[in-house]
Amino acid sequence: MGRVLITGGAGFLGSHLSDLFLSRGHEVVCMDNFITGSPDNVAHLFGRKGFEFVEYDVTNYLHVDGQLDYVLHFASPASPIDYLEKPIQTLKVGSLGTHKTLGLALEKKARYLIASTSEVYGDPLVHPQKEDYWGNVNPVGPRGVYDEAKRFAEAMTMAYHRFHGVETRIVRIFNTYGERMRLRDGRVVPAFVSQALRGEPMTVFGDGQQTRSFCYVSDLIEGIYRLLMSDEQEPTNIGNPVEMTILEFAETIKRITSSKSEIVFKPLPIDDPKIRKPDISKARAVLGGWEPKVTLDEGITRTIDYFRGRI
Protein backbone atom coordinates (compact mmCIF):
# COMPACT_ATOMS: atom_id res chain seq x y z
CA MET A 1 0.00 0.00 0.00
CA GLY A 2 3.01 2.33 0.14
CA ARG A 3 5.20 4.06 2.70
CA VAL A 4 4.16 7.40 4.19
CA LEU A 5 5.99 10.09 6.16
CA ILE A 6 3.78 11.99 8.60
CA THR A 7 5.42 15.07 10.13
CA GLY A 8 3.85 16.15 13.39
CA GLY A 9 2.98 12.48 13.66
CA ALA A 10 2.83 12.48 17.47
CA GLY A 11 0.34 15.33 17.53
CA PHE A 12 -3.44 15.15 17.82
CA LEU A 13 -4.18 14.72 14.11
CA GLY A 14 -0.86 13.12 13.14
CA SER A 15 -1.29 10.26 15.59
CA HIS A 16 -4.79 9.48 14.30
CA LEU A 17 -3.42 9.55 10.75
CA SER A 18 -0.68 7.11 11.79
CA ASP A 19 -3.37 4.76 13.11
CA LEU A 20 -5.42 5.00 9.93
CA PHE A 21 -2.53 4.43 7.52
CA LEU A 22 -1.29 1.42 9.47
CA SER A 23 -4.80 -0.04 9.61
CA ARG A 24 -4.96 0.17 5.80
CA GLY A 25 -1.71 -1.63 5.21
CA HIS A 26 0.73 1.26 4.78
CA GLU A 27 4.13 1.60 6.39
CA VAL A 28 4.39 4.77 8.49
CA VAL A 29 7.40 6.93 9.30
CA CYS A 30 6.18 9.18 12.11
CA MET A 31 8.29 12.31 12.70
CA ASP A 32 7.92 14.79 15.57
CA ASN A 33 10.10 16.97 17.79
CA PHE A 34 7.54 17.09 20.63
CA ILE A 35 7.17 20.88 20.70
CA THR A 36 3.42 20.29 20.98
CA GLY A 37 3.12 16.56 20.22
CA SER A 38 3.43 13.81 22.83
CA PRO A 39 5.02 10.35 22.87
CA ASP A 40 1.86 9.17 24.63
CA ASN A 41 -0.14 9.67 21.43
CA VAL A 42 1.86 7.03 19.56
CA ALA A 43 3.13 4.85 22.42
CA HIS A 44 0.65 2.13 21.43
CA LEU A 45 2.31 1.95 17.98
CA PHE A 46 5.90 1.35 19.10
CA GLY A 47 6.95 -2.16 18.18
CA ARG A 48 4.16 -2.52 15.66
CA LYS A 49 5.20 -3.86 12.28
CA GLY A 50 5.42 -1.12 9.67
CA PHE A 51 5.76 1.73 12.19
CA GLU A 52 8.93 3.77 12.59
CA PHE A 53 9.39 6.85 14.79
CA VAL A 54 11.95 9.61 14.19
CA GLU A 55 12.42 12.49 16.63
CA TYR A 56 13.39 15.42 14.43
CA ASP A 57 12.74 19.09 13.64
CA VAL A 58 11.57 19.31 10.03
CA THR A 59 12.81 22.88 9.63
CA ASN A 60 16.33 21.42 9.41
CA TYR A 61 17.87 19.46 6.54
CA LEU A 62 15.52 16.55 5.95
CA HIS A 63 16.42 13.07 4.76
CA VAL A 64 14.53 9.79 5.07
CA ASP A 65 16.13 6.54 3.95
CA GLY A 66 14.31 4.34 1.49
CA GLN A 67 11.23 4.71 -0.62
CA LEU A 68 8.47 7.17 0.22
CA ASP A 69 5.15 7.16 -1.62
CA TYR A 70 3.43 9.89 0.39
CA VAL A 71 4.55 12.88 2.48
CA LEU A 72 2.00 14.49 4.82
CA HIS A 73 3.13 17.72 6.48
CA PHE A 74 1.19 18.14 9.73
CA ALA A 75 3.96 19.59 11.91
CA SER A 76 2.89 22.92 13.41
CA PRO A 77 1.62 24.48 16.60
CA ALA A 78 -2.13 24.70 15.99
CA SER A 79 -3.77 26.36 18.99
CA PRO A 80 -3.77 30.08 19.86
CA ILE A 81 -1.84 29.49 23.08
CA ASP A 82 0.83 27.51 21.22
CA TYR A 83 1.40 29.86 18.33
CA LEU A 84 1.31 32.95 20.55
CA GLU A 85 3.94 31.34 22.80
CA LYS A 86 5.95 29.98 19.85
CA PRO A 87 5.50 32.53 17.06
CA ILE A 88 8.92 32.02 15.43
CA GLN A 89 8.66 28.21 15.47
CA THR A 90 5.18 28.50 13.95
CA LEU A 91 6.43 30.66 11.09
CA LYS A 92 9.48 28.44 10.55
CA VAL A 93 7.57 25.16 10.35
CA GLY A 94 5.06 26.70 7.94
CA SER A 95 7.79 28.11 5.70
CA LEU A 96 11.06 26.18 6.13
CA GLY A 97 9.26 22.97 7.16
CA THR A 98 7.04 23.13 4.11
CA HIS A 99 10.05 23.80 1.88
CA LYS A 100 12.01 20.87 3.33
CA THR A 101 9.12 18.41 3.11
CA LEU A 102 8.27 19.46 -0.43
CA GLY A 103 11.91 18.99 -1.40
CA LEU A 104 11.80 15.51 0.07
CA ALA A 105 8.60 14.70 -1.85
CA LEU A 106 10.28 15.91 -5.05
CA GLU A 107 13.37 13.76 -4.38
CA LYS A 108 11.30 10.66 -3.60
CA LYS A 109 8.70 11.28 -6.34
CA ALA A 110 6.10 11.07 -3.56
CA ARG A 111 2.61 12.52 -3.44
CA TYR A 112 2.44 15.44 -0.99
CA LEU A 113 -0.34 16.70 1.28
CA ILE A 114 -0.13 19.88 3.34
CA ALA A 115 -2.32 20.45 6.39
CA SER A 116 -3.72 23.92 5.93
CA THR A 117 -6.48 25.48 7.96
CA SER A 118 -9.70 27.48 7.92
CA GLU A 119 -7.57 30.25 9.46
CA VAL A 120 -6.40 31.12 5.93
CA TYR A 121 -9.84 32.75 5.61
CA GLY A 122 -9.09 34.96 8.64
CA ASP A 123 -12.12 36.79 10.02
CA PRO A 124 -14.23 36.03 6.95
CA LEU A 125 -16.47 38.44 5.11
CA VAL A 126 -18.03 35.54 3.17
CA HIS A 127 -20.24 32.92 4.80
CA PRO A 128 -20.01 29.96 4.60
CA GLN A 129 -16.41 29.81 3.44
CA LYS A 130 -15.75 28.28 0.02
CA GLU A 131 -12.33 27.40 -1.35
CA ASP A 132 -12.43 30.27 -3.86
CA TYR A 133 -12.63 32.88 -1.08
CA TRP A 134 -9.25 34.57 -0.58
CA GLY A 135 -9.78 35.54 3.03
CA ASN A 136 -9.61 38.54 5.36
CA VAL A 137 -6.37 38.18 7.30
CA ASN A 138 -4.43 40.67 9.39
CA PRO A 139 -0.79 39.81 8.55
CA VAL A 140 0.68 41.80 11.47
CA GLY A 141 -1.83 40.84 14.18
CA PRO A 142 -1.02 38.28 16.88
CA ARG A 143 -2.75 35.49 14.92
CA GLY A 144 -0.87 36.40 11.75
CA VAL A 145 2.04 34.10 12.60
CA TYR A 146 -0.24 31.08 12.14
CA ASP A 147 -2.54 32.43 9.42
CA GLU A 148 0.26 33.65 7.19
CA ALA A 149 2.44 30.59 7.81
CA LYS A 150 -0.37 28.44 6.44
CA ARG A 151 -1.09 30.80 3.53
CA PHE A 152 2.61 30.75 2.63
CA ALA A 153 2.61 26.95 2.92
CA GLU A 154 -0.23 26.74 0.42
CA ALA A 155 1.60 29.07 -1.98
CA MET A 156 4.83 27.06 -1.68
CA THR A 157 2.92 23.82 -2.25
CA MET A 158 1.32 25.13 -5.44
CA ALA A 159 4.70 26.46 -6.62
CA TYR A 160 6.24 22.99 -6.29
CA HIS A 161 3.25 21.55 -8.10
CA ARG A 162 3.42 24.03 -10.99
CA PHE A 163 7.20 24.35 -11.33
CA HIS A 164 8.45 20.87 -10.33
CA GLY A 165 5.37 18.80 -11.14
CA VAL A 166 5.02 17.43 -7.61
CA GLU A 167 1.65 15.76 -7.02
CA THR A 168 0.19 17.92 -4.27
CA ARG A 169 -2.95 18.06 -2.15
CA ILE A 170 -4.08 20.86 0.19
CA VAL A 171 -6.58 20.25 2.97
CA ARG A 172 -8.13 23.21 4.75
CA ILE A 173 -9.07 21.85 8.16
CA PHE A 174 -11.94 23.36 10.13
CA ASN A 175 -12.36 23.02 13.91
CA THR A 176 -11.69 19.39 14.81
CA TYR A 177 -11.92 17.71 18.20
CA GLY A 178 -11.53 14.29 19.77
CA GLU A 179 -9.28 12.04 21.80
CA ARG A 180 -5.59 13.01 22.17
CA MET A 181 -6.19 16.73 22.25
CA ARG A 182 -4.09 18.34 24.96
CA LEU A 183 -6.05 19.46 28.00
CA ARG A 184 -4.32 22.84 28.14
CA ASP A 185 -3.84 23.61 24.47
CA GLY A 186 -6.14 26.64 24.64
CA ARG A 187 -8.71 25.51 22.07
CA VAL A 188 -12.34 25.72 22.98
CA VAL A 189 -13.14 21.99 23.23
CA PRO A 190 -10.49 21.01 25.81
CA ALA A 191 -10.96 24.34 27.60
CA PHE A 192 -14.72 23.90 28.06
CA VAL A 193 -14.51 20.19 28.83
CA SER A 194 -11.77 20.55 31.46
CA GLN A 195 -13.54 23.50 33.09
CA ALA A 196 -16.86 21.65 33.14
CA LEU A 197 -15.39 18.44 34.57
CA ARG A 198 -13.61 20.38 37.32
CA GLY A 199 -16.64 22.50 38.13
CA GLU A 200 -14.71 25.66 37.25
CA PRO A 201 -16.26 28.69 35.52
CA MET A 202 -16.51 28.12 31.76
CA THR A 203 -14.85 31.01 29.95
CA VAL A 204 -16.70 32.41 26.95
CA PHE A 205 -14.99 35.22 25.07
CA GLY A 206 -17.01 38.17 23.80
CA ASP A 207 -20.77 37.73 23.97
CA GLY A 208 -20.55 34.10 22.85
CA GLN A 209 -22.40 34.77 19.61
CA GLN A 210 -19.38 34.03 17.41
CA THR A 211 -19.89 30.74 15.58
CA ARG A 212 -17.84 27.61 14.99
CA SER A 213 -18.44 24.27 13.27
CA PHE A 214 -17.04 21.19 15.02
CA CYS A 215 -15.86 18.04 13.21
CA TYR A 216 -15.05 14.82 15.05
CA VAL A 217 -11.54 13.55 14.37
CA SER A 218 -12.48 10.25 12.69
CA ASP A 219 -14.56 12.09 10.08
CA LEU A 220 -11.72 14.51 9.36
CA ILE A 221 -9.06 11.77 9.08
CA GLU A 222 -11.20 9.78 6.65
CA GLY A 223 -11.66 12.89 4.52
CA ILE A 224 -7.92 13.58 4.51
CA TYR A 225 -7.16 10.03 3.42
CA ARG A 226 -9.67 10.25 0.59
CA LEU A 227 -8.27 13.61 -0.50
CA LEU A 228 -4.74 12.17 -0.62
CA MET A 229 -5.94 9.31 -2.80
CA SER A 230 -8.02 11.57 -5.05
CA ASP A 231 -6.98 13.57 -8.12
CA GLU A 232 -7.90 16.94 -6.55
CA GLN A 233 -4.95 19.34 -6.50
CA GLU A 234 -6.61 22.59 -5.46
CA PRO A 235 -7.39 23.39 -1.78
CA THR A 236 -10.30 21.43 -0.30
CA ASN A 237 -12.29 22.25 2.84
CA ILE A 238 -12.84 19.37 5.23
CA GLY A 239 -14.98 19.94 8.29
CA ASN A 240 -18.51 19.72 9.61
CA PRO A 241 -20.95 22.37 8.31
CA VAL A 242 -23.22 22.20 11.38
CA GLU A 243 -22.74 25.69 12.83
CA MET A 244 -23.42 26.83 16.39
CA THR A 245 -22.55 29.75 18.64
CA ILE A 246 -19.82 29.39 21.24
CA LEU A 247 -22.43 30.02 23.94
CA GLU A 248 -24.57 27.18 22.57
CA PHE A 249 -21.49 24.98 22.55
CA ALA A 250 -20.71 25.81 26.18
CA GLU A 251 -24.27 24.88 27.13
CA THR A 252 -23.89 21.59 25.23
CA ILE A 253 -20.76 20.71 27.21
CA LYS A 254 -22.51 21.60 30.46
CA ARG A 255 -25.43 19.35 29.58
CA ILE A 256 -23.39 16.31 28.56
CA THR A 257 -21.05 16.56 31.56
CA SER A 258 -23.93 17.38 33.98
CA SER A 259 -21.66 20.16 35.21
CA LYS A 260 -22.67 22.88 37.68
CA SER A 261 -20.10 25.29 36.22
CA GLU A 262 -21.23 28.84 35.63
CA ILE A 263 -20.53 30.50 32.29
CA VAL A 264 -18.46 33.69 32.54
CA PHE A 265 -17.64 36.20 29.82
CA LYS A 266 -14.27 37.77 29.01
CA PRO A 267 -13.15 40.19 26.28
CA LEU A 268 -12.82 38.80 22.78
CA PRO A 269 -9.18 38.25 21.70
CA ILE A 270 -7.76 40.38 18.89
CA ASP A 271 -8.75 39.21 15.38
CA ASP A 272 -10.82 36.31 16.71
CA PRO A 273 -13.05 35.18 13.81
CA LYS A 274 -16.74 36.04 14.31
CA ILE A 275 -18.05 33.30 12.04
CA ARG A 276 -16.71 29.96 10.85
CA LYS A 277 -18.53 27.42 8.72
CA PRO A 278 -17.12 25.33 5.88
CA ASP A 279 -18.80 24.92 2.54
CA ILE A 280 -18.01 21.25 1.89
CA SER A 281 -19.76 20.94 -1.48
CA LYS A 282 -16.43 20.27 -3.16
CA ALA A 283 -15.40 17.57 -0.67
CA ARG A 284 -18.74 15.83 -1.10
CA ALA A 285 -18.32 15.92 -4.88
CA VAL A 286 -14.70 14.78 -5.25
CA LEU A 287 -14.14 12.50 -2.23
CA GLY A 288 -16.47 9.64 -3.07
CA GLY A 289 -19.46 10.92 -1.15
CA TRP A 290 -17.51 11.78 1.99
CA GLU A 291 -19.31 13.76 4.64
CA PRO A 292 -19.26 13.91 8.45
CA LYS A 293 -21.08 11.04 10.15
CA VAL A 294 -20.44 11.48 13.88
CA THR A 295 -22.97 13.72 15.66
CA LEU A 296 -21.77 16.38 18.08
CA ASP A 297 -23.30 14.62 21.08
CA GLU A 298 -21.64 11.33 20.14
CA GLY A 299 -18.24 12.83 19.44
CA ILE A 300 -18.24 15.11 22.47
CA THR A 301 -19.25 12.22 24.73
CA ARG A 302 -16.25 10.19 23.51
CA THR A 303 -13.98 13.21 23.99
CA ILE A 304 -15.27 13.86 27.51
CA ASP A 305 -14.71 10.21 28.43
CA TYR A 306 -11.11 10.54 27.22
CA PHE A 307 -10.52 13.70 29.28
CA ARG A 308 -12.11 12.25 32.43
CA GLY A 309 -9.20 9.85 32.74
CA ARG A 310 -6.69 12.71 32.50
CA ILE A 311 -8.07 15.18 35.00
Please give the positions annotated as active site.
146
The answer to whether 58 touches 30, Cβ cutoff 8 Å, is no
Count of H helices and E strands in the chain? Answer: 9, 13
Number of C-alpha atoms within 13 angstroms, CB side, residue 149? Answer: 28
CB of 88 closer than 8 Å to CB of 21: no
Q: What DSSP letter does each residue of 9-20 carry, written as one string?
A: TTSHHHHHHHHH
Do residues 26 and 4 make contact, with C-beta atoms less than 8 angstroms apart?
yes
**Sign of the torsion angle spanned by Cα atoms 39, 221, 139, 190:** negative
Cβ proximity of 303 and 193 under 8 Å: yes
| C-alpha to C-alpha distance for 91 and 60, rounded to whole angstroms | 14
Question: Do residues 17 and 73 touch, judged by C-beta distance below 8 A?
Answer: no
3-state secondary structure at position 216: strand
Q: What angle do the packed helices 296-308 and 188-198 form, to 10 degrees?
A: 60
Q: In sequence order, what DSSP letters do the residues of 279-307 get, joined into one string?
A: --HHHHHHTTT----S-HHHHHHHHHHHH
Say if CB 161 and CB 233 are below 8 A apart: yes
**Rounded Cα distance, 281 and 243, in Å:** 15
Tell me the angle at which helices 87-108 and 144-159 cross, rounded to the nearest 10 degrees.
10
Q: Specify whether the CB–CB gap between 205 and 266 falls below 8 A.
A: yes
